[in-house]
Amino acid sequence: MKVNLLVRGDLRSQFGMARLVREQIKMISPFFDKIIGVDLHFHPKFDKAEFPYEIMSDLEARNLLSRDASSSWIVFHHVTPDHYERYSNCYNLGYFIWETNKPPEDGNWESSLRELDGLWVSAPFLIDMTKDLGWTKPIEVVPWPMAPMVLTEQIPNLANLMIHQVSPKAIYSMDWNKFKEVGEEFFFSVSSDAPRKAIPVLLSEWVDYKKNSKLKKSLILKISTFNFSKTEEVLLKECQKFLNFAYGGETFVDTNFFVITDHLSDEGLAYLYNSCQAYITTTVGEGFGGPIAEAALLGKVVLSPRHSSLESLVPKNYPFVLPHEMVTLGQGPSSFYAASSLWGLIQAGALSKRLIELDHMSSEDLADQGESLRGFVSDVCSPEKVKATMAAFIEDQSDVIKLACNV
C-alpha cells in the first residue's frame, strides 16, 4: 500500500511552529512515498525558510487527492484545532501546541477535534484538556525533537548586531562589540511581546535583584513580535514602559537592562545562550518552551517556573524552579484565550531570590547543575525517541489508515 503525506500548517516562516513541522517531516519522510504541503502562514514577509516539497492550495490538494484512488493519504493538520478541515477518504492527524488548560471560548475546538482520526500534542497536560473536550480516539505526546545547537569554534560575527540599553528615561543603542568592551556577566532571556511571556514580571524581579545585589551583572532580553506593524522603536518603548512600572517611581542605580530586537542567526543565538551565566524566564504558560530547551541542551542553568509544558522540561527536584501559583487572569494574557484559563504566575520575589543565590555559587557548581538539566532535557527532546514515537503511532494506526482511506 502506498502511503502519502499532506502537511497543512505554517511551513516556511521562522516561527517556532514552522521550524518544528519542518523537523518532524524530515524525521518521518522515509515512511512516505510522496509529500506535499499546504502553507497556512499568515504573512508573506516570513517566507524565509525552504520547504523541500511541492506546495499548493487546499483546493488544489483536495482535487489531487480526490483523483488519487490508488494511494492512502495521511493529512497532517499542524495547526490549532480551529483550523482543522477534514479531508474525506483520508486519515486526518492533528498536532497542536497550546499554552494553557482551556481552549478559546469561541474556537469550536470540540467540534473541530471530531474531524480527526488521531491526534498528537506537544505536552502531557494537553491530553487532559482534549479529554475534557470529549476526545476518545488515539492520542500521543510528541515533544519538540531537539539536538543541541551547534557551537562554532570561531565566535560568530556579531559586529552588525545592535543592542539597546533601556533605562527609565533613555534608550541608548550600541553595537555588540561596544557592549562586549564592558565585559559584564549577563543573564539571558528569549521572548516575544505576547502577554503570556510576562515581561513586566521579569523586569519587576530584575529591578528587585539589582536593588539587593552588589554585582554588576546585566540582563539581555531578545524580543520579537507577532505584530508586523510594530516598529523597533515602539517595541523598545514598551520595554521602557515595563521597566518604569517595575521601578514604581523610585530612582536608584542603573539596572543594566539590554534589549535585542534584531534577527539572530542560529550561530549567534547559540553563542548568547552559551555566554550567559543563566537563562531566565517568568512565562505564565508554554506549549513547549523551545528557548528553555535550547539553553538547557547547551548546559546552562535555567531559572523557570514549572507549569504547563514546563512540567516536562524541568525536573521536580530541580533547585532553580521558580515557585508559582495557578491563577485566572481574565483576558490578561490575550483576548484570544478563555477568561477561565489557568496561568502559572511566579511568586513575588521568587526570581530575584534565585538570582541572589546564583551570585554566591561557584562556576563549578553552576556547571554541575547545568549538566544535570542537560541530561534531563536531552532525554525528553531526544530526536531518536521522538522519531520512534511518531513511527510507532503511524504503524499502530495502519489498519485505521486503510479504513479511513477506503483501501
Burial of 364 per CB tally in 10 Å (0-12, 13-18, 19+): exposed
Q: For residues 272 and 289, what is the distance between their CA atoms, to the nearest angstrom?
A: 17
CATH 2.70.160.11, domain 162-380, yes or no? no
Q: What band does 25 get if pLDDT is binned at 50, 70 and 90?
A: very high
- Selection from 239, 341, 204 nearest residue 285 by Cα: 341
Q: What is the DSSP string of 290-358?
A: HHHHHHHHTT--EEB---TTHHHHS-TT-TTB--EEEEE-TT-S-TTS-TT-EEEEEPTTHHHHHHHHH
The Cα-based distances of 235 to 11, 164, 221, 227, 285 in angstroms read 27, 11, 12, 10, 21
Residue written as cell 535585542? 260
* pLDDT, tens digit, 9 for 90 and up, residues 236-255: 999 999 999 998 876 666 78
Mean per-residue pLDDT, 206-216: 90
Predicted model pTM: 0.93
pLDDT higher than threshold 90 for residue 5 = yes
Domain ranges of the chain: 3-144+383-404, 162-380
Q: Is the predicted pLDDT of residue 333 greater than 70, yes or no?
A: no
Q: What is the mean pLDDT of residues 373-387?
A: 96
pLDDT above 70 coverage of the chain, percent: 95
The mean pLDDT of 257-274, rounded to a whole number, is 92
pLDDT at 364: 94
pLDDT interval class at 157 (50, 70, 90):
confident
Confidence of residue 263 (pLDDT cuts 50, 70, 90): confident
- In whole angstroms, what is the distance from residue 407 CA to residue 405 CA? 5
In this prediction, residue 391 has a pLDDT band, given cuts at 50, 70 and 90, of very high
pLDDT above 60 for 317:
yes
Q: How far apart are CA 380 and CA 158, in angstroms?
A: 32
| pLDDT at residue 248, as a whole number | 81
pLDDT digits (tens, 9 = 90+) for 92-121: 999 999 999 999 988 789 999 999 999 999
With 60 as the cut, is the pLDDT of residue 332 above it?
Answer: no
Same CATH fold assignment for domains 3-144+383-404 and 162-380? yes
pLDDT score at 215: 86
- HSE-up of residue 272 (Cα within 13 Å, Cβ side): 27
Q: Measure the CA dihedral 202/204/210/216, to 10°.
A: 30
**What pLDDT does 95 receive?**
98
* Phi, psi for residue 197 in degrees, rounded to 5: -75, -15
pLDDT (0 to 100) of residue 129: 95
- 3-144+383-404 CATH fold: Rossmann fold (3.40.50)
